Amino acid sequence: MSAGSGKGGGKSGGKSEGARALKVRVKTAAKRSLASARWLERQLNDPYVARARREGYRSRAAFKLLEIDEKYKLLKSGQRVVDLGAAPGGWSQVAAQKVGVGAGKGRVVGIDLLEIEPLPGVDFIQLDFLAPEAPERLIALLGGPADIVLSDMAANATGHKKTDHLKIMGLAETALDFARQVLSPGGVFLAKVLQGGTENALLADLKRDFAVVRHVKPAASRSDSAELYVLATGYRGAAATPITPDDGA
């Protein structure tokens, strides 16, 4: 459900400056469509894909969250974090590092329809986050309401701009509905949307429920992509699901 998941350099013979990146080109084959060949070529030439491999992140998407957090300082030691549409786990990796899961200081729970490879200190649930039992299960694992709800979910693209926009906005709206059930007062909501304008209804809901709402586009988000993120901070409500504190939190 979540967005997931190099570059070489060299100088041409007579040029002392202006080093140019060596690009990998992928030929189309009988069993490979033009679209899949373009996707593979872009992956092979993406510096963030190469960097993710070098630094041990599960996807290039990890750098989007790292860059947003670097600017807005969202993730803090000891926080409880929910990662919606967590597969393959790149955002959960970043959140776990930032909140101190390795030192027993925070909690991170990821949820996805897909099975996710285990990550030390992170609880992954293979479940639809819209399932009636999802909020209560997540809060139980967190040991209390969430401080941050993250959503890097994206529906499969159809190629039709308006349809894709409506689909991803629908995901953002359902993610917000979920966040209202699990966020603690003062909490943070970060979700993927598409350029072309956040729907008025969603924007109005965010402004009503949060103190500050802004759009952000990290450098790791491809420049040719309409993707950006809506960041809402200072949640004014309170988790609606009954909480049973966990002494081990």
Give catalytic residues, as residue numbers: 192
Taking the C-alpha atoms of residue 208 and residue 211, their distance in angstroms, rounded to an integer, is 8
For 110, list phi and psi in degrees, rounded to 5: -110, 145
Give the integer Cα–Cα distance in Å for 92 and 81.
9
**DSSP string for residues in the chain:** -B-----EEE--TT-SS--EEEPP-----TTS-HHHHHHHHHHHT-HHHHHHHHHT-SSTTHHHHHHHHHHH----TT-EEEEET-TT-HHHHHHHHHHTGGGT--EEEEEESS----BTTEEEEES-TTSTTHHHHHHHHHTS-EEEEEE-B-PPP-S-HHHHHHHHHHHHHHHHHHHHHHEEEEEEEEEEEESS---HHHHHHHHHHEEEEEEE--TTS-TT--EEEEEEEEE-S---S-----TT-
Distance between the two ends of the chain, CA-based, in angstroms? 28
Hey, which residues does 198 pair with through a beta bridge? none
